[in-house]
A and B are shown apart, each in its own frame.
Chain A
């Protein structure tokens, strides 16, 4: 950890790969869920149950779509933050008596403030 900075960029960078693993985990759970729901919908036989399962398939699809993207967002946020911090570390090292211990905004991969809003 660089002196005066509020977090460790290298560790944060390493942690970002765990976010990616969680996204893969979420992807697997989502695919299993949606495929099971879709398969049940096509095998129910009862019109009301088929309709309900088709609706559940769509809702599950949307829920996991958002969740998967959110894990990707967390990943990008960590990568972006670690990258900005790394650049700041280098900048601080080059400064004589420069400002340190500043709050680094948590950014996404596009350099936008994170989270939005």
Chain B
């Protein structure tokens, strides 16, 4: 039986596709922030709304806009980190597969002419696996750092006060089968079809 290396798991094409999607979502968060700022200002000026209640609304809307804006950078960082990992993953998968192929061929070659090529392919594969491990570690650290920023998007302000007053919003919702409308306890517009 020919010696072989385990092809590293993961799907670089999916990672690149989803990283692009996440970057677009990050841009969407920035757009949401701009729209929220405009809306907050217009709600007061168009309705000629002044006084303490208008001031409170302005503070809430501004805090909301700032929070949406704050989501852009960490989401973009995560997407970039994953993109940077997809390349080494693809390379490692290709080189390990190439080594396995040539090693299998060399094992059946009594002349030994493929031995040198198999050794070289094996070295290339090992180098790629080492680079992959390093890339994964770096990407993981970057993702953790960026994800920490998602925990505190609103800082101290009325939006965080609102969230803190509702423990159900801090519940760890299941990722798969996530139903965002469950999260909206007020003004629930209904569930739009995803995608």
Contact = CB atoms under 8 A, between A and B. Distances in A.
A115 B144 contact: no
Interface residues of A, number: 76
B54 interface: yes
Contacts, number: 274
Interface of A: 1, 6-9, 11-12, 15, 18-20, 22-40, 43-46, 48-49, 51-79, 81, 103-106, 108-109, 114-117
B14 interface: yes
B187 A51 contact: no
B42 to A, nearest CB: 7
A114 B56 contact: yes
A65 B53 contact: no
A115 B64 contact: no
Contact of A34 (B10, B79, B175): B175
B57 A68 contact: no
Interface of B: 8-11, 14-15, 18-19, 21-22, 24-26, 28-29, 31-32, 35-36, 39, 42-43, 46-54, 56-57, 59-61, 64, 67-68, 71, 75, 78-79, 82, 85, 89, 132-133, 136-137, 139-141, 143-144, 146-148, 150-151, 153-154, 158-159, 161-163, 165-166, 169-170, 172-173, 175-176, 178, 180-181, 183-189, 192, 194
Given A27-B192, A77-B57, A36 B175 contact: no
Contact of A116 (B31, B54, B82, B162): B162
Nearest to A57: B175
A36 B22 contact: yes
Contact of B140 (A12, A52, A69, A76): A52
3 A-B pairs with least C-beta separation: A45-B10, A46-B136, A106-B53
Given A78-B43, A114-B56, A115-B161, A29 B29 contact: yes
Contacts of A117: 161, 165
B169 A40 contact: no
Given A15-B46, A49-B85, A70 B159 contact: yes
A49 B96 CA distance: 20
B59 to A, nearest CB: 8
30 contacts: A6-B48, A6-B49, A6-B51, A18-B39, A18-B42, A23-B187, A24-B189, A27-B180, A36-B19, A36-B22, A37-B78, A39-B18, A43-B11, A44-B85, A45-B136, A46-B89, A46-B136, A49-B143, A52-B139, A56-B146, A59-B147, A59-B151, A61-B172, A65-B169, A65-B173, A65-B183, A69-B163, A71-B64, A71-B184, A74-B61
